[in-house]
A and B are shown apart, each in its own frame.
Chain A
Amino acid sequence: MNTVVAGITYRALLGRRRIILLLLLPLALIGLAVLLRLFSADDQSTTVLLMKNFAIGTMLPLLGLIAGTGVIAPEIDDGTIIHLMSKPISRPVIAQTKFLVAASLLAVFAAVPTYVAAWILVGNEDGIAPGFALGSLVAGIAYAAVFLLLGVVTRHAVTIGIIYALVWESLVGNLLAGARTWSIQHWGQAIAAQISDSPFFQADVSLSFAIPALIIVTVGAVLWAGQRLRAFSLTGDE
């Protein structure tokens, strides 16, 4: 963790229009929760549906994409990353710092709003709000790592990331039961289901699979991103 790298990364992400993107989805989630509350649809089954399909199913992967690629891909694109990499700081430390920034942003912009939205609907009933908040936090951390890696390995990170977030995580994961085993959001749901004992919510993936999977994916992606940065090459200027 390098505080100068973190500071510049926060400023790059929060100082630009990207922050609007980061705010849009959580505001929509809380807005939906308020609407459902106003129309008295604030029962557990609706809440679980909203959390599963929107909060963790749609918002989280998209925010993961914005934050995870956003901490590094634009800098690689415009060459500003050279400022950080031409310093006596190990590249894996740069990758780890960028990962921590992305993960912290997901905690603030995804996990907290998830808790708030669920709480607006059902309070702390049956552990739904804390469960989904924790599931969202843990899955968000994994997304931050995966999308950071994507931002390091390819210049088409956003395109590939959107396809992954929408097609794989949203569509395939919902249609094919087998695909859920290999879906970060379903690992997050496994954590959420562990905390929540709502009768309307069951996870598709077992906790004994989800926890090691989350750890391996997160640690693996951050380490790999660090190794890729070590071999970062400047090309194509001539």
Chain B
Amino acid sequence: MKIELSQVSRWYGNVVAVNDVTMTIGPGVTGLLGPNGAGKSTLLHMMAGFLAPSGGSVTLDGTKVWKNHHIYRNIGLVPEREGVYGFLTGWQFVLSAARLHGLPDPIEAARKALATVEMEEPKDRRVETYSKGMRQRVKVAAALVHDPPVLLLDEPFNGMDPRQRLHLMDLIRTMGTGGKTILFSSHILEEVERVAQHIEVLVAGRHAASGNFREIRRLMTDRPHLFMIRSSDDRRLAAALVRDDSTGGITLRPDGLEVQATEFRRFARLLPQVAKTEGVRLHQVSPADEDLESVFSYLINRSS
């Protein structure tokens, strides 16, 4: 099944949370990547029928999602907020989901869903006694109980320990390979890279990039990079580097050089060559802006 967003916007008063986003989420695993506050949850809530778009349309295989409870036969939703009745046991919670779906064999469906997330052993404990990761898994089980073709997960790996995280990643990958349409949001590139075949990047409410992880990686590595370089002769090195086109600009600082490289790959080859021919010894070469925020801010400027 396909979720189609067509020129979707959402604003709250004067604040634009999602701005003119058009994308199609098809079978396989799609990662919705973006920094906190980018509008990922807003977009996901619109896909899940829990928020009306201020403009544009959100459809699931051609049918409108908003104010249409029939979509939940085909959608499983794992919200970010806890959203689990603490007084129910894990078993009761998942079983109630199966009954709410009106499944023919709710007990078998609940048993299967709990087995999928490896929560059979603690299933008879109350949810309020669970760790955050266990609650997350029980939520996933409840969302999977009717075997939906579409699964939406809002920051599913938050609060999970590394082992649980790996397990959920495996599970999501397997379901994606099995033909389900899966979308999950995350602000961590590595997470998205490991699970998603396809990545949609959302920055400041705008659809900044789209592609598989190689394309997104390339996009991110081809941007201008900032390096801090310390060497035996900074001034000499700077003079030699600036002659090449791949160097955008150099600032001479008391503690070293700040070099703006416009072409990452070429600069990476250039630097050691220049150092060798000039007889300059490199003490330190470090990227100054490898954090995600600078990657995202580059993408914003690029898309505007």
Residues of chain A in range 61-98 having any CB-CB distance to chain B below 8 Å:
78-80, 82-91
Contact across chains for B79 and A5 when beta carbons are under 8 A apart: no
Closest A-chain residue to B79, C-beta based?
Answer: A82
- Chain A neighbourhood of B73, CB < 8 A: 88
Contact across chains for B102 and A231 when beta carbons are under 8 A apart: no
Determine if A208 is an interface residue (Cβ-Cβ < 8 Å).
no
Contact across chains for A4 and B96 when beta carbons are under 8 A apart: yes
Contact across chains for B82 and A79 when beta carbons are under 8 A apart: yes
Contacts known (A2-B100, A88-B101, A235-B12); A8 close to B85, Cβ less than 8 A: yes
* B44-52, B56-64, B113-121, B290-298 - interface stretch: B44-52
Tell me, rounded to whole Å, the shortest Cβ–Cβ distance linking A193 to chain B: 42
Contact across chains for A88 and B102 when beta carbons are under 8 A apart: yes
Contact across chains for A8 and B88 when beta carbons are under 8 A apart: yes
Determine if B269 is an interface residue (Cβ-Cβ < 8 Å).
no
Determine if B264 is an interface residue (Cβ-Cβ < 8 Å).
no
Query: Could you tell me the distance between the alpha carbons of A124 and B102 in the complex, rounded to whole angstroms?
Result: 47
Residues of chain B in range 243-280 having any CB-CB distance to chain A below 8 Å:
none
- Chain A neighbourhood of B12, CB < 8 A: 235
Query: Could you tell me the distance between the alpha carbons of A5 and B97 in the complex, rounded to whole angstroms?
Result: 10
Tell me, rounded to whole Å, the shortest Cβ–Cβ distance linking A63 to chain B: 22
Determine if B165 is an interface residue (Cβ-Cβ < 8 Å).
no
- Chain B neighbourhood of A86, CB < 8 A: 48, 50, 72, 75, 77, 79, 143
Contacts known (A11-B87, A88-B73, A234-B50); A78 close to B17, Cβ less than 8 A: no
Determine if B39 is an interface residue (Cβ-Cβ < 8 Å).
yes
Closest B-chain residue to A92, C-beta based?
Answer: B69
A-B contact count (CB 8 A): 95
Contact residue among A2, A11, A83, A238 (Cβ-Cβ distance under 8 Å from B40): A238
Determine if B302 is an interface residue (Cβ-Cβ < 8 Å).
no
Contact across chains for A234 and B51 when beta carbons are under 8 A apart: yes
Contact across chains for B99 and A4 when beta carbons are under 8 A apart: yes
Tell me, rounded to whole Å, the shortest Cβ–Cβ distance linking A73 to chain B: 15
Contact across chains for A84 and B77 when beta carbons are under 8 A apart: no
Contact across chains for A83 and B83 when beta carbons are under 8 A apart: yes
Tell me, rounded to whole Å, the shortest Cβ–Cβ distance linking B45 to chain A: 5
- Chain B neighbourhood of A209, CB < 8 A: none
| Most chain B beta carbons < 10 A, residue from A8, A15, A83, A230 | A83
- Chain B neighbourhood of A230, CB < 8 A: 67
Contact across chains for A15 and B87 when beta carbons are under 8 A apart: yes
Determine if A233 is an interface residue (Cβ-Cβ < 8 Å).
yes
Determine if A232 is an interface residue (Cβ-Cβ < 8 Å).
yes
Contact across chains for B67 and A238 when beta carbons are under 8 A apart: no
Contact across chains for A84 and B87 when beta carbons are under 8 A apart: no
Contacts known (A88-B73, A238-B41); A79 close to B79, Cβ less than 8 A: yes
Contacts known (A83-B142, A89-B69, A232-B50); A8 close to B82, Cβ less than 8 A: no
Contact across chains for A12 and B81 when beta carbons are under 8 A apart: no
0/1 interface trace, chain A 198-235, chain B, CB 8 Å (1 if under): 00000000000000000000000000000000111111
Tell me, rounded to whole Å, the shortest Cβ–Cβ distance linking A74 to chain B: 10
Contact residue among B50, B52, B67, B96 (Cβ-Cβ distance under 8 Å from A82): B50
Tell me, rounded to whole Å, the shortest Cβ–Cβ distance linking A219 to chain B: 21
Contact across chains for A78 and B82 when beta carbons are under 8 A apart: yes
Determine if B287 is an interface residue (Cβ-Cβ < 8 Å).
no
0/1 interface trace, chain B 70-92, chain A, CB 8 Å (1 if under): 11110101011111110110000
Contact across chains for B51 and A88 when beta carbons are under 8 A apart: no
Tell me, rounded to whole Å, the shortest Cβ–Cβ distance linking A138 to chain B: 31
Query: Could you tell me the distance between the alpha carbons of A27 and B51 in the complex, rounded to whole angstroms?
Result: 44
- Chain A neighbourhood of B77, CB < 8 A: 82, 86
- Chain A neighbourhood of B85, CB < 8 A: 8, 11-12, 80, 83
Tell me, rounded to whole Å, the shortest Cβ–Cβ distance linking B143 to chain A: 8
A residues bordering B, Cβ < 8 Å?
Answer: 2, 4-5, 7-8, 11-12, 15-16, 78-80, 82-91, 230-235, 237-238
Given pairs A11-B88, A234-B41, 20 additional interface contacts (CB within 8 A): A2-B100, A4-B100, A8-B88, A11-B87, A78-B81, A78-B82, A79-B81, A82-B77, A83-B84, A83-B85, A83-B100, A83-B142, A86-B77, A87-B101, A88-B71, A88-B102, A89-B100, A231-B67, A234-B45, A238-B39
Which 10 pairs from chain A and chain B are nearest by CB? A87-B100, A79-B81, A234-B50, A79-B83, A4-B99, A86-B77, A237-B41, A88-B72, A234-B45, A88-B73
A-B contact pairs, 10 of them (CB 8 A): A4-B96, A12-B87, A16-B87, A80-B82, A82-B79, A82-B81, A89-B100, A233-B52, A238-B17, A238-B37
